[in-house]
Structure 1
Amino acid sequence: MKTATPAMARAINDRLALDLLLERGPLTAPQLRTLTGLSRPTVSDLIERLREAGLIEITGEYGEDRRGPNARLYGLVADRAHVAGVDVRRVAVHVTIADITGQVVGSATRAIDGSLETLIEDVILEAAAGRELDTVIIGAPGLVDPRDGEVVSDNDVPGWRRGLMGAVGERLGVPVVLENEVNLAAIAELRIGAARGSEDFVLLWLDDGVGAAVVLDGRLRRGVSGGAGEIGFLEVDGAPYCDQVEPGVVRGLGRAELAGRIAKGAFAFVALLDPGLIVVGGKTGHDGGDELAALVSERLRERSPAPTEVRVSTVTGNAVLQGAVLTALDLTRGRVFG
């Protein structure tokens, strides 16, 4: 077993303090000592290091009658870095900008018209409003090859082409990473949604596109070519599954019929992976609510002895955008915080 060097120990302590400030907000030096278990001199040194690095600052004082160094509240420097989450749909581009604490500071949306490369750049710059970006994560339909970050199938987005993300990155001058949009929605469910606290689940995405994302042992599983979870291609009862649960069809179905169709797709994951939890997301999931989840659960019990809980998505707003921002923040904090 290797012994940690002084430099490594300092880096570990610094990251521990930064993560606590992210989770809990501004803290005093005594509070940091209590939460970390570190000594007074060690906490004093790390506070000084983090202030000199421009990562934390004094944000106020704790307690009405207290004064002095022990009353000072230290918080993260929110504008130390900014990230962009981007959701590219078939008809529009949506962008959210967040600071390093995760606070949303800008957003913009435009319909797709003209050059997609120029449009994505323009919407990002509009939302950023002059803020320098550290990382951009873009979610889009289609199979995204984990090896080169390129879409390997037609995603029906007007103007999409191979090399598009590299071109956008060159225009912006920052790292740009592409991810399948359902995978990003699953990250949002895992971190802040219906799957929070669960290490194994499948997100069944029923919206303007039909797909799924697989999370096992707390990790997103993409597959060799990025095709893990592409349930829409599966043939069920002689027809592609995506054709049976797409929005235009769903609007004409009764609740029981819809639950039965959803369960047929979910059963594929239950039989092969036994994830224990299916999250029904997208517009269909939100519209159906807990009643739909209960009906899907009943249909699954009829098909499989494996106990499987069914929940509807609890992420409010655009789950793809939120997953993109969370992913971008992970990368940026890793670089900035060390």
Structure 2
Amino acid sequence: MERAPTSPVSRERSREIKRQSVISAAREARVLSRVDLAELTGLPAATLTALVRDLIAEGYLIERGPGANTTGRPRAMLEFNPRAELVAAVSLEPPRITCEIADSNGTVIAHRTSRLGPDVVETVCQFVAELVADNRPSLCGVAIAVPGVSSGGAVRLAPSVGLVEARPIGQSVQQELGVPVVVDNDVNLMAAGERMAGAGKDVDDLLLLHVADGIGAGLILDGQVRRGASGAAGEVGFLPADPEADRAYSGVGPFEARWSANAIAERVVALHPGRRPEAPVSELIELAATSAAARAYLDEVLDAWARLVISCACVVDPGRVLLSGAAAQLDDAALARIQDLVSAKVPAPTEVRRAVLGDQAVLHGAISYALSAAVRLPGPSPTTTHR
């Protein structure tokens, strides 16, 4: 019986799968021999030789000298080149845009902060292209952190960047730059960053509460960021501030309208007239040491934030809660107060800590997302979406 010819498309797809298996094995091991590659990939010597030769030419692999002495003939070693795969981590922080270019080790090789232009997509594409410069062929993925809800790569409820209604910025940036793009809420990326390199790196379940102009939460369960059916999980600022709260929808939730950094700053100015404080929680704690009114208001703030932690913990049982943004300004005594309030009410042990990465949390998380998209690891989709 005559054999049907092999499809050229199938051959090309098969070669790409084998190529990716070699890249993945080298990326994981960092330094290894051809024999190691054969054992890790299961590929025959002839196939592996051709692939290694091509990957050396492409800059993915670097030939090194013999490895440590073993029995028999010393083996020439191959080293994975992390600069062969670059990713861009973009954070939209009105009125600023911050971008970092990192290699596949997560090492930042370029950084820039500038003013956010009127068109988000145009600004992001221009910024990434300028920062990656001559290394554009090595750009493998982009992650964009936005101060709003992201679903399917479209962003909404982000009035600070002019995106109240949904706009597909992920798809638009991907079409322009020609690489996988992931878009997610900035607080989700903060949570991912703290888990990768901060106060959550030793746990698989955590909740990050970020207090800034608004209040949002990033949730990680079983090591995965959870976003909900519409990408709006963690919009805790929309929880009722109190039983009597009756606030019309305006893009600002009732809880964050009363207990955000903005609200606290306004109250601090009322308690101690003067310039608007840059660190309102720190200044409130300082005022509370000498002012009974400030002390009473600080207690209100701590009680409100503790109720928020308790509400979240009763639903998702994160085990660890990280306080970020203005909430990370709490001193040890205030943090202990929240911990006591939480411990008295939650049904399971819940540890409350400060987040430790500060402004770098978003970029750490974005680098992790972009690498995942670029190398097609489990996690964020390589096509722009988070649903």
TM (norm. structure 1) is 0.79
Using the alignment, how far apart are the partners of 1:228 and 1:153 within structure 2? 13
Please point out which of 96, 102, 106 is paired with 1:102: 106
Contact 1:290 / 1:311 at 8 angstroms: preserved in 2? no
How much does 1:203 deviate?
1.0
Please point out which of 284, 302, 325 is paired with 2:367: 325
Please point out which of 231, 234, 242 is paired with 1:229: 234
1:283 and 1:29, CA in 2 relative to 1: closer, same or farther beyond 3 A?
farther
**Structure 2 counterpart SS, 1:144:** strand
2:315 is matched with 272
Please point out which of 89, 92, 97 is paired with 2:93: 89
Answering whether residue 259 of structure 2 is matched by residue 245 of structure 1, we say: yes
1:140 is matched with 146
2:304 is matched with 261
1:177 and 1:76, CA in 2 relative to 1: closer, same or farther beyond 3 A?
same
Range 45-54 or range 151-160, more displaced = 45-54
Percent of residue pairs bearing the same amino acid type? 28
Using the alignment, how far apart are the partners of 1:267 and 1:218 within structure 2? 21
1:125 maps to amino acid = A
1:141 and 1:317, CA in 2 relative to 1: closer, same or farther beyond 3 A?
closer
1:205 and 1:225, CA in 2 relative to 1: closer, same or farther beyond 3 A?
same
1:160 and 1:80, CA in 2 relative to 1: closer, same or farther beyond 3 A?
farther
2:26 maps to amino acid = L
Contact 1:32 / 1:43 at 8 angstroms: preserved in 2? no
1:257 and 1:100, CA in 2 relative to 1: closer, same or farther beyond 3 A?
same
1:267 maps to amino acid = I
Using the alignment, how far apart are the partners of 1:41 and 1:170 within structure 2? 35
How much does 1:288 deviate?
2.8
Using the alignment, how far apart are the partners of 1:315 and 1:18 within structure 2? 30
**Structure 2 counterpart SS, 1:198:** coil
Answering whether residue 226 of structure 2 is matched by residue 212 of structure 1, we say: no
Contact 1:117 / 1:167 at 8 angstroms: preserved in 2? yes
Using the alignment, how far apart are the partners of 1:78 and 1:203 within structure 2? 30
Answering whether residue 120 of structure 2 is matched by residue 78 of structure 1, we say: no
Tell me the matched-pair count: 319
The 5 Å alignment of 1:51-200 reads 52-53=54-55, 54=58, 55-59=60-64, 70=74, 72-132=76-136, 133-145=139-151, 148-158=152-162, 162-200=167-205
1:195 and 1:171, CA in 2 relative to 1: closer, same or farther beyond 3 A?
same
Using the alignment, how far apart are the partners of 1:45 and 1:70 within structure 2? 22
How much does 1:265 deviate?
1.1
2:315 maps to amino acid = L
Greater than 6 Å deviation, 4+ residue runs: 9-13, 36-45
Using the alignment, how far apart are the partners of 1:289 and 1:235 within structure 2? 27
RMSD (Å), alpha carbons: 3.6
1:3 is matched with none
1:122 and 1:309, CA in 2 relative to 1: closer, same or farther beyond 3 A?
same
Gaps of 5+ in 1: 1-5
Using the alignment, how far apart are the partners of 2:102 and 2:368 within structure 1? 9
Answering whether residue 49 of structure 2 is matched by residue 18 of structure 1, we say: no
Per-residue CA distance 1:181-224 (angstroms, 9 max, x = gap)? 11111111222221223222111112343200111122111111
Q: Larger Rg: 1 or 2?
A: 2
1:297 is matched with 339
Using the alignment, how far apart are the partners of 1:45 and 1:12 within structure 2? 13
Contact 2:157 / 2:164 at 8 angstroms: preserved in 1? no
Using the alignment, how far apart are the partners of 2:331 and 2:62 within structure 1? 43
Contact 1:87 / 1:139 at 8 angstroms: preserved in 2? yes
Contact 1:236 / 1:264 at 8 angstroms: preserved in 2? no
Range 291-300 or range 10-19, more displaced = 10-19
1:299 and 1:59, CA in 2 relative to 1: closer, same or farther beyond 3 A?
farther
1:83 maps to amino acid = V
TM (norm. structure 2) is 0.70
1:149 and 1:86, CA in 2 relative to 1: closer, same or farther beyond 3 A?
same
Gaps of 5+ in 2: 1-13, 246-253, 265-279, 286-297, 378-387
